[in-house]
Structure formats: C-alpha cells, structure tokens
Amino acid sequence: MLVLVVGPSGAGKDTVLGLARSALADDPRFRFVRRVITRPADAGGEDHEAVSDADFVRRAFALQWQAHGLNYGIPLDIVDDLARGLVVVANASRGIIAEAARRFPVRVIAITASPAVLAQRLTARGRETADNVAQRLARDSPIPSHIETEMVANDTSPEEAADRFVAALIRAALSARSERMPHPALPG
C-alpha cells in the first residue's frame, strides 16, 4: 500500500515524518521514501535528493509533479517495494492523489493544524511574506472522496502528532495485510 502524506504548508509534515521514520526504523513493513526535488540540499526543510532540472528530466519516477516552481518525484523503485507488500510512505501533493490511486493501492494521511497554528509556523519560517502566508492559508485542494483518508492533527507537540501518525501507519499496514490475505470461504 502507498500511503501518501499530505497537508498544508506549516502543518509539520516533515517533522512528523522524521519522528515516525525513527520510531519505525526497525519495522520491516515500512519504507519511508526520500523524494527527489529540484531544490538545493541545503535549502532547508525535508531531507531530499537534490537534483538539477536537467537531471530530473532524465529520471523515471513512479509519481512526479510540480509545485512552487520546483519538480518533485517519487522514485520508481517503490513499485518493487509495493509488489513485495511493503507499506510505502511518501510526502506528496494532493494534486497527484487521483493519479496515484489509479496506479497503486493508496491511502492518504493528512497532517493538519488549525489556521492560527499554520500562520504562526509559516511566519516563523521567515521564507514567505505576509501576503504569501495568506495565500497559502487560503489554498484549498480537496482530497478525492473515494480515497480512504485519515486526519492527524498537529496542533500540540510534534511527538503527540507523531504518535498518532505512527498509529495510523500501523492501521494501514494491518489493513493492507488483511486485503492481501485470502479470505476463507463462508459456509453455504
């Protein structure tokens, strides 16, 4: 199962993902994807594979998209991991959910925070103007209604959000396992 992690800027996706990656480091059911991004490695934010635009175009990806003037890609090797039954966890854009669901078994976990918390975090980053922060807060990209989605609030501590996120991932792994197992025939 491919678990797409989405949420607005400032929701704390990278922090929660990092804590979950550490918590599940010894659990062979999970693979946390390192995205390929046309952003310098030292630009802050998530740990990613930094590539040039030219290198990005030469690569093959399982999923790819553009946002904020950058190219993002999920490595093609996740296809093999999914075939082996792993739960592949990837930070993604809401804009690729429908495409991903056409190609892979998908579940979405949306990391959220209240508008006030988002505004505070975005302002503290110092990367956007007040107008940019307002635009980010106004942006709304709904998740397709037919995609199974779980919400994880990150309004308190990152550790509490990570605990809820890990629990959601474990539920996804159990669900994926039960979907793969043959069901016994019911007595007729």
Quote the DSSP letter at residue 84.
Answer: T
Confidence of residue 132 (pLDDT cuts 50, 70, 90): confident
Please give the average per-residue pLDDT across 151-172, as a whole number: 95
Q: What is the CATH number of domain 2-32+78-179?
A: 3.40.50.300
Taking the CA atoms of the chain, what radius of gyration do you get in angstroms?
17
Please indicate, yes or no, whether the overall pTM of this predicted structure exceeds 0.75: yes
Residue 186 has pLDDT above 60, yes or no: no
**Whole-number pLDDT of residue 98:** 94
Q: Return the residue matching tokens 């075939």.
A: 83
DSSP code of residue 94: G
Q: Is the pLDDT of residue 157 over 60?
A: yes
- Segment 76-123, tens digit of pLDDT: 999 999 999 999 999 999 999 999 999 999 999 999 988 888 888 877
3-class secondary-structure state, position 2: strand
Looking at residue 183, its pLDDT comes to 40
Query: Residue 140: its pLDDT value, please?
Result: 66
Burial of 91 (0-12, 13-18, 19+ CB in 10 A): buried
What is the phi-psi region of residue 40: left when phi exceeds 0, alpha when psi lies from -120 to 50, beta otherwise? beta
Domain ranges of the chain: 2-32+78-179
Q: What is the mean pLDDT of the chain?
A: 86
Q: pLDDT, tens digit, for every residue of 25-74? A: 999 999 999 999 998 777 666 678 889 999 999 999 999 999 878 999 99
pLDDT at site 89: 97
The predicted-structure confidence for 136-154, as pLDDT tens digits, reads as follows 666 767 788 888 899 999 9
Q: Cβ of 74: how many Cβ atoms within 10 Å? A: 24
User: Residue 10 phi/psi, 5° resolution?
Assistant: 95, -5
111-129 confidence digits (pLDDT tens):
998 888 888 887 777 667 7
What average pLDDT score do residues 155-172 get? 95
